[in-house]
Structure 1
Amino acid sequence: MKTYLLPALMLLLMIAGCKNPEPRRPVSVRTGSFIKESVERNKQLLEAEEELITSLIEADSLLKFERSANGYWYAIETVDTTDQYRPVEEDIVRITYELEDLEGNPIYTREETGVIEFKVDKEALFPGIRTGIKLLRQGETGIFFFPSSLAYGYHGDENKIGTNVPLKASVTLLEVVEKYRDTLTPEKVSKQEQQ
């Protein structure tokens, strides 16, 4: 009888061990309240920044500012009527720029930033400058007011620009080095049309 006891006990243990696994339950359940609060906070921040920018624009009697479709304000300070071409995505341009806070305190001068050559809409410049350059013609200087979300945002630049700092920028388009459309071969045009 003892010889049957061991196999029966083993069979019983195997059957008990073949239970379906139970999923682990989370220790705490998150609600969407954090995200909703963050969105509301960002809306309030943007509204306050826009009010401040609007008051600065109204106080400026020399320039006529317009609001861009991207959410910032700009005015062309130095107008060049000889060249009608404005950069488009993929063009390579050379620019200089300087940044100030909204109180007029310099953050980066043109000497500090230097001449920058970059591909329009493709480089690591902050979003406002990446799209704002497309509003200028070669030789023109534009004044831009960027809310913090279109500048360096929550992270800042980890140097001189802190968290959620709206910026005033003076940007000069020195040269359109390479017009993307001029570099297109018939094969590239055909590929672009297919996409």
Structure 2
Amino acid sequence: MKKFLFLIVMAIAVVSCKPPEARYPVSQSSGSYIDQSVEKNREMIAQEEDYIKQVMGENTSTEYITSADGFWYYYNNKSLDSLNTETPEFGDIVSFDYSISTIEGEAIYAEGDKPTREYAIDREKLFTGLRQGLKLMKEGETVTFLFPSHKAFGYYGDQERIGSNKPISAKVTLHSIKEEEQSNTETKEQ
């Protein structure tokens, strides 16, 4: 009986020392959902850009400029001062006003709805298109930007008046640019 009990204990010990086997998922995803989502977003962006180009084509009196960052703009008030060549760079503090409307021109946030804002270039939260657009401006200029939704408020909108995936137009007036070193010195003096 002792031999039989010993054999059972040994058999259990041998069987229990077996290395663990990998468990495989019941269903495997091939990543097709992500591929479909990417394709859907590309189509949506292409449709928005085509629509913006159509609206620009209807307004032949305005000279639109295409930005390297994927949006369009025109000058309402361009600086003619040949000495005024400075545009904001990383860390500079800019003071600006802006209004937002639909691509067709219907006001979403009219002039005066948003207070004058001070913004440290690329150091604070601001929607992508406006952040990139401010870097193109000089003091005293007013520029109207046409942003596809992915450069504006994207899928989530602004949680107030701008809905999901809405292209927008933003009219921006840049009042001042304070260089990073200058703004740091003023802060220390105060």
TM range (shorter): 0.7 to 0.9
How high is the TM-score relative to the length of structure 2?
A: 0.88
- Aligned-partner SS, 1:162: coil
Is the Cα contact below 8 Å between 2:93 and 2:183 reproduced in 1?
no
After TM superposition, the score normalised by the length of structure 1 is: 0.86
**Counterpart in 2 of 1:85?**
86
Q: Where does 1:1-195 land on structure 2 (aligned, <5 Å)?
A: 2-82=1-81, 83-176=84-177, 178-180=178-180
Letter matched to residue 5 of structure 1:
F
- Where does the alignment leave 5 or more consecutive residues of structure 1 unmatched? 185-195
Quick one: distance in 2 between partners of 1:19 and 1:111?
74
How many residue pairs match? The answer is 183
In the TM superposition, residue 33 of structure 1 has moved relative to its aligned partner by 1.9
Contact 1:148/1:164, CA 8 A, preserved across alignment: yes
Quick one: distance in 2 between partners of 1:130 and 1:157? 16
Measure how far apart 1:183 and its partner are. Answer: 7.3
Q: How many Å separate the matches in 2 of 1:4 and 1:118?
A: 85
Deviation at 1:34, TM superposition (A): 1.5
CA distance in 1, matches of 2:6, 2:176: 88
CA distance in 2, matches of 1:115, 1:49: 29
Given that 1:63 and 1:77 are in contact with CA atoms closer than 8 Å, whether structure 2 keeps it comes out as: no
| Alignment check: 8 A CA contact 2:147 2:167 kept | yes
- Deviations 1:44-93 (Å, cap 9, x if unpaired)? 11111111111221222442111000010011111122322111122111
Residues in 1 aligned to 2:90 and 2:59: alpha-carbon distance in whole angstroms = 31
Would the aligned equivalents of 2:55 and 2:104 in 1 still touch at CA under 8 Å? no
* Structure 2 CA distance for aligned equivalents of residues 183 and 155 of structure 1: 34
Task: State how far apart, in whole Å, the 1-side matches of 2:132 and 2:2 are.
Answer: 84
Quick one: which amino acid aligns to residue 34 of structure 1?
Y
Render the CA deviation track for 1:12-39: whole Å, top value 9, x for unaligned: 1111011111112112211232222212
Amino acid at match of 1:42: N
Q: 143-152 or 110-119, which moves further after superposition?
A: 110-119
Q: CA deviation at 1:170?
A: 0.4
- 2:142 partner letter: T
